[in-house]
Amino acid sequence: ALPVPPMSIRFDQSAGTLSPEGPTLTRRMSDLEGLFRDHAAWQKAVADGDPVVYSVISSPVPEIDRELPQSITTIQPGTTAGELWMTKGHQHPNHQGEIYLGISGRGGLLMFDGTETRWVEMTPGTIGYMPPGWAHRSVNIGDEPYSFLAVYPGGAGHDYGWVLEHGMGLRALSGTDGVEFVDYVEG
């Protein structure tokens, strides 16, 4: 990855693009294996068109030490057996902090340090702070796409196996009065 000069980066919300742009990523249901509590419902959703659950567009700032890469994640609204659509979730192996800024839609930021779980509701303008050592997952709790900006240390790294192994403490389900939380393991 090459260093980049000082610059401004433009987010075009209706086009869903950043310019200049870096890598983009699309996560379909099939990319979320082992994350939803209802495996059969997950399998059915994969067979049933394998919908896009979220996408991540990045600026060209490289993921290397001392840089501050940014990306915008957009999670589609939806549920799988009642569980709200979400990102895979990860831990930064080097335990570095991160901030999110809510851009549009309604979401939640689920954080887990291996013992305690915290939930921060995210609306446009909310800054969500993840201290070092807190694994994080984002959830769309509304009925429109939920988008947020992430800014993170370039050397932080992304450990997805940590969440597969330890879970996130709680799961966010769609309840009659909004979000309902259930124990991660028992669901």
Residues 60-99 within binding reach of Zn ion (CB under 5 A) = 98
CB of residue 160 vs ligand PAN: minimum separation in angstroms? 7
Count H helices and E strands in the chain, helices first. 2, 15
Please select the residue that binds ligand PAN; options are 59, 73, 91, 117, rule is CB under 6 A. 73
Residue 161 to residue 159: CA distance in whole angstroms:
6
Cβ 77 vs Cβ 108: under 8 Å? no
Look up residue 73 and give its amino acid: T
Kindly state whether residue 158 participates in binding ligand PAN, applying the rule CB under 6 A.
yes
CB of residue 136 vs Zn ion: minimum separation in angstroms? 6
- 91's contact among ligand PAN, Zn ion, none, with CB below 5 to 8 A by partner kind, is none
Q: Which stretch binds ligand PAN (CB under 6 A): 12-20, 33-41, 43-51, 86-94?
A: 86-94
CB of residue 56 vs ligand PAN: minimum separation in angstroms? 5
Tokens 């979000």, residue located: 179
| Angle 99-104-108 from CA coordinates, rounded to 5° | 55
Kindly state whether residue 105 participates in binding ligand PAN, applying the rule CB under 6 A.
no
DSSP assigned state of 124: T
